[in-house]
Amino acid sequence: MEKLTMSDADYGALARAMRKVDFFAPLNVGELEQIVKYIMLCRYKAGETVFRQGDPGDAFYIVHDGALSVRVKTILFFKKQVARLGAGDFFGEMALLSRDPRSATVVCEEPTRLFVLLSADFGFMLKKSPAFAEEMRKLAERRKFMSRQDKR
Ligand code: CMP
């Protein structure tokens, strides 16, 4: 993983990605600006693991570009893909909301760039906007349910 300096175009893409997601809508421009300052842009190689199932959760991720596979352990060392994520998708909310370990391993399938928001700043968004927090919780529940269905 390599940390990149964000260009104006990257900030534009981040703003677009955030606008596309309804959850960010309750945050006003001032609040969004406050958050965006802390967001990092990181580059990953194809095949690189962002984090593993069971790791502690320390950040939330928005996909700038590339493709990722979300994999859950089944039995022994077998893993099953439960989702594929691409530009504008986000992940990593579940461990931050529940304080449980990561529920899945996330691996880059292509060269991928991710916007990374550390857990304290994600917490700031949750605190600032109960509507954002509520939507994140609902999504985390849905994903948890989907992963459970897929494991069978
Ligand atoms: P977290 O548990 O922090 O780390 C793994 C992440 O993978 C999880 O948060 C979700 O963001 C994501 N994830 C888990 N299950 C699914 C799913 N079924 N569909 C999409 N994303 C998922």
Quote the domain boundaries for residue 26: 2-144
pLDDT at 13: 85
Q: Is the CB of 92 under 6 A from ligand 1?
A: yes
Establish if 149 belongs to a structural domain.
no
* pLDDT in the model for residue 151: 55
Give the pLDDT confidence score for residue 59 in this predicted structure.
Answer: 97
89 assigned to some structural domain: yes
* Whole-number pLDDT of residue 150: 60
Q: Which of ligand 1's atoms lies nearest the C-alpha of 101?
A: 2
- Decide if 100 is inside a domain: yes
Whole-number pLDDT of residue 78: 87
Position 54 scores a pLDDT of 97
102 lines ligand 1 (CB under 6 A): yes
* CATH at 92: 2.60.120.10
- Report whether residue 147 contacts ligand 1, using a CB cutoff of 6 Å: yes
Residues of the chain with pLDDT under 70: 150-152
- For residue 91, give the ligand 1 atom closest to its CA: 11
In this prediction, residue 125 carries a pLDDT of 85
Q: Would you list the DSSP string of 59-72? A: EEEEEEESEEEEEE
Query: Residue 152 domain-assigned?
Result: no
Per-residue pLDDT at 65 = 95
Quote the ligand 1 centre to 21 CA distance (angstroms).
Answer: 16
Considering its fold, how many domains does the chain have in total?
1
In a domain, 49, yes or no: yes
Whether 65 is in a domain gets the answer: yes
Instruction: Examine residue 136 and state whether it is found in any structural domain, yes or no.
Output: yes
90 Cα: distance to centroid of ligand 1 (angstroms): 9
Output the CA 81–ligand 1 centroid distance in Å: 11
For ligand 1, the distance from its centroid to the CA atom of residue 2, given in whole angstroms, is 23
User: What is the arrangement of strands in the sheet containing 40-44, beginning at the earlier edge strand?
Assistant: 2-4, 40-44, 112-118, 59-65, 90-91
